[in-house]
Amino acid sequence: MREKEGFKCRSSKKLDKDTVENVVRSKQDMETEPVSEVVQPRVLTEEEIQDVWRGITLTHLQKTLGLTSLEVVLDPRHINPQNIVYNMTTVNKHGVVTLEDKTDDLPHWVLSAMKGLANWPKYDASQPSYSGFERDVFKTVSDYFYSLPRPILTSEYYKLFVNILGLLQPQLEQVAIEALQLCTLFLPPASRRKLQLLMRMISRMSQNMDLPRLHDAIATHTLMAHMFSHCVLGCKEEMDLDELLATRLVSFLMDHHQEILQVPVYLQNAVQDHIAYLRKVQIT
């Protein structure tokens, strides 16, 4: 019995020693193993997201214009990043800005008149039709745009748009399109929408061979450019307005409005990629 008891004691003692050694080794292993770090995605504020839109848009514009600084043509204080975001994201299937606040939208009767002119000779059967009817409708639309309190390309950006007129040459056409594509994103959404709808209307009118002449001596395309130049481009001092440049700009916008006033996908992708980069996991 004593031998058995002695065996039990020795076995228990050995087991205790092994257990202690295992515990020590486990503790040492735990101390040498790297501690897994807690990761979580970064949450960006709305202001940070808007700063990304603003910064990338201005960077692309500066590169497009080939300038070392935009301050010579643009006051950064006039750039509202909320306008850029809204103009890029709140659009219909045709890329035209849609307004949540209808206060500054075109009145229904103006939209109806513009639609009738853009789709001539198709028009609302409920409207009257007589010789010279199209001229009266056109006058109604032009009177409305002349009554606007400020030009569509707001006077704050007059210097910027005037400096782009130097690019309105055949060999620089694509550069001018890209520059105007970016610059028009700075506009208040209501102004950009007006510009989109106006350019679409006068472009269709100038190409419509079925539309009767609106002026006895002036071709429709030329008439459109002259008629709406003051409504589109303006400056704080009327005497400083270069009418020839304003007419050339409207003519260029009219001819290339589909490219200029569409949502630039490359810009959207650049912004989304940068935002995704900023949101990548951060170690805490």
pLDDT digits (tens, 9 = 90+) for 47-96: 999 999 999 999 999 999 999 999 999 988 889 999 999 999 999 999 99
Residue 168, pLDDT score: 87
How far is Cα 249 from Cα 169, in angstroms, rounded to an integer? 11
How far is Cα 225 from Cα 250, in angstroms, rounded to an integer? 5
Nearest partner of 184 among 255, 84, 270, 98, judged by Cα: 84
Half-sphere exposure of 131 (CA within 13 A, CB side): 0
pTM given for the model: 0.82
How far is Cα 206 from Cα 117, in angstroms, rounded to an integer? 10
**What b/e string do you get for 43-56 counting C-beta neighbours within 10 Å, with b at 16 or more?**
eeeeeebbebbbeb
Residue 37, pLDDT score: 58
End-to-end CA separation in angstroms for the chain: 63
Q: Maximum Cα–Cα distance for the chain, whole Å?
A: 132
* pLDDT lower than 70: segments of the chain: 1-39, 123-128, 237-240, 281-284
Residue 18, pLDDT score: 56
Question: Contact at 8 Å (CB) between 28 and 55?
Answer: no
Residue 122, pLDDT score: 73
How far is Cα 164 from Cα 180, in angstroms, rounded to an integer? 8
Residue 41, pLDDT score: 80
Residue 247, pLDDT score: 93
Residue 120, pLDDT score: 87
Nearest partner of 268 among 56, 21, 19, 11, judged by Cα: 56
Residue 16, pLDDT score: 56
Residue 29, pLDDT score: 57
Question: Contact at 8 Å (CB) between 93 and 263?
Answer: no
Question: Contact at 8 Å (CB) between 43 and 281?
Answer: no
Residue 32, pLDDT score: 56
Residue 6, pLDDT score: 45
